[in-house]
Chains A and B, each alone.
Chain A
Amino acid sequence: MIEIRELRKSYRIRERRAGPGAALASLVRPAWREVEALAGVSFSLSPGEIVGYIGPNGAGKSTTIKVMSGILVPDSGVCVIKGRVPWKERKAHVAGIGAVFGQRTQLWWDVPVAESFELLRAIYRIERGTFRKRHDELVEALGAGGLLGSPARSLSLGQRMRCELVASLLHGPDLLFLDEPTIGLDAVSKLAVRDFIARENRERGLTVILTTHDVHDIEALATRVILIGRGSILFDGGFSELLAPHREKGVERALAELYGELGIA
């Protein structure tokens, strides 16, 4: 379903030093620094998998997700998802995937959630009967029925995330990218989100790539984890296998120790 080989991406970042002298100098000759976000990333995914994509901050997780969801063009490498190259056939590609970015909203900020959903129906050009059926199922599964009349900006984070999940699946994608979907959520919402993802995967065969810093998300959902650090894949396999050497310390500490040992903390 996903085939990624030797994916590379660097960013050019403007260097700024402190002090008025340096500020003036950078007006004339700006200093740039190359940051390698992806240094040759390769992995593949089969339909129906839930993969936890983990790594410390700045490791390249979001960059990978952005490339896979057609937002970002890599410098080199291969990325084929469901037979398409995301940035070459962006519209056809994104019509068949869902994406939730925990730190951004996909809903229209100042309109009732129901109107956002209706607009998504127009955007994805979903036939009305199909839309109603999926809409009702998703709203029911996430307990979002009472939220439909409120604008996104007045929802709590947990309420909003439920609506984001509905929004990401209205068009019936079989592949879902979740970039930190549980960030900042309370225990109840976190569990609701986890249960929902597990059920969509079990009942519909939804393929999921999940980035998160919450090891419990991974533990609860993913059978396979891919660990990325400094733009390279450092591990690809079972979660228990990854943590085996430090298991007795508990998942959180075990992962932290591992990051330390790998020099990516």
Chain B
Amino acid sequence: MSASGGGIAAPVRPGPLAPYLGLFRMRLVRGLAYRAAAAAGVATQFFWGFIMISVFQAFARAGYSPLDPREIASYVWLQQAFLVLVVVWFRDAELIRLITTGDAAYELVRPVDLYAQWYARLLGGRLAGAALRSLPILLVAGLFPEPWRFHLPPDLAQAGLAFVALALAAALTVAVSMFAYILALVTLQPYAAFILLAPLAEFCSGLLVPLPFLPDALRRVLEWLPFRAMLDLPARLWSASLPASDSLRPFALGLAWLLVLVPLGRAALAAALRARDVPGG
């Protein structure tokens, strides 16, 4: 009856990461079902992409642009294609429901680390969203006439680095957005929590204005913050406006921020749960 009868391998207990992989997989698979939302997102993102490219290429034509038209188009399309991987406002509605109803505390009856559990599900949700949106955007944008066309990086190494940067960006975005969920847990006002954090992250990561367009003094500050590696780094690597040889420092900084933000978020979540014990019977 059971599989262990004439099996090849001895019965194996799932490993210590199995809970988190399971939750990640579940969110990923569930996320792939939201195709209508993705289609709507794709349409919006084409619209935004066109506006942004037009605006910044106007700067380029006037001779004020630190990026050339090709770089602008690739920067913007990459950003739009992987938007849900890197914007704070892409929210997990069910997690927000758990938080506002107080059910989040009940997740503690499972033998898993709550932070890691949330991290896994948020990452899974974002990957699903990006998987649905990115290919159609990039394929179609690759067929546009110049100067709107999306280009591949000049070589494989640059492309590979851009993908590593994108993975780091997703990891950082989840770590940053976690603070919005934690704030929502404390204030019970998820809308306010995201409104505080999302625009800040959007501006500082280069989503509204690519960082090279900002004044030098401001840009130098922003380059030290965690947001830079959430978007500017992968987009600049892909569009090859940042040579691979200059990417070591931003990579190291992004990684360092990740190593700071994750433990900080874990501690904040633990404190928030303690502060918010839900009264009842």
Contact = CB atoms under 8 A, between A and B. Distances in A.
Contact of B105 (A72, A126, A211): A72
Contacts of B12: 127-128
Contacts of B274: 73
Contacts of B2: 128-129, 132-133
A13 B279 contact: yes
A104 interface: yes
Interface in B7-38: 11-16, 18-19, 21-23, 26, 30
B246 interface: no
Most B CB contacts (10 A, CB to CB) among A69, A71, A122 go to A122
Contacts of A110: 30, 94
Contact of A63 (B19, B26, B111, B281): B281
A62 B105 CA distance: 13
A110 B30 CA distance: 8
Contact of A62 (B15, B16, B103, B281): B281
Contacts of B281: 57-63, 211
Interface residues of A, number: 47
Interface size, B (range): 20 to 34
A58 B279 CA distance: 9
A106 B106 CA distance: 8
A49 to B, nearest CB: 21
A91 interface: yes
A125 B19 contact: yes
Contact of A129 (B4, B14, B105, B111): B4
Nearest to A177: B109
A59 B18 CA distance: 39
Interface in B204-251: none
B277 interface: yes
A11 B105 contact: no
A129 B109 contact: no
B154 interface: no
A108 B106 contact: no
A94 B30 contact: no
A115 interface: yes
A126 B277 contact: no
Interface in A91-139: 91-92, 94-95, 97, 99, 101, 104, 106, 108-111, 115, 118-119, 121-130, 132-133
B111 A94 contact: yes
B112 interface: yes
B13 A125 contact: yes
Interface in A46-74: 57-63, 66, 69-73
B4 to A, nearest CB: 4
A209 B52 CA distance: 61
Contacts of A125: 13-16, 18-19
B105 A71 contact: yes
Nearest to A179: B281
A264 to B, nearest CB: 13
B110 interface: yes
A35 interface: yes
A222 interface: no
B280 interface: yes
22 contacts: A11-B277, A11-B279, A13-B279, A35-B279, A61-B281, A62-B281, A72-B105, A90-B111, A91-B112, A92-B111, A94-B108, A95-B111, A97-B109, A122-B14, A122-B23, A123-B19, A123-B22, A126-B13, A127-B11, A128-B12, A132-B3, A133-B1
Interface of A: 11, 13, 35, 37, 57-63, 66, 69-73, 90-92, 94-95, 97, 99, 101, 104, 106, 108-111, 115, 118-119, 121-130, 132-133, 211
Given A11-B277, A66-B280, A128-B2, 13 more contacts: A62-B280, A63-B280, A69-B108, A71-B105, A71-B108, A90-B108, A90-B111, A111-B26, A122-B14, A122-B21, A123-B19, A125-B15, A127-B12
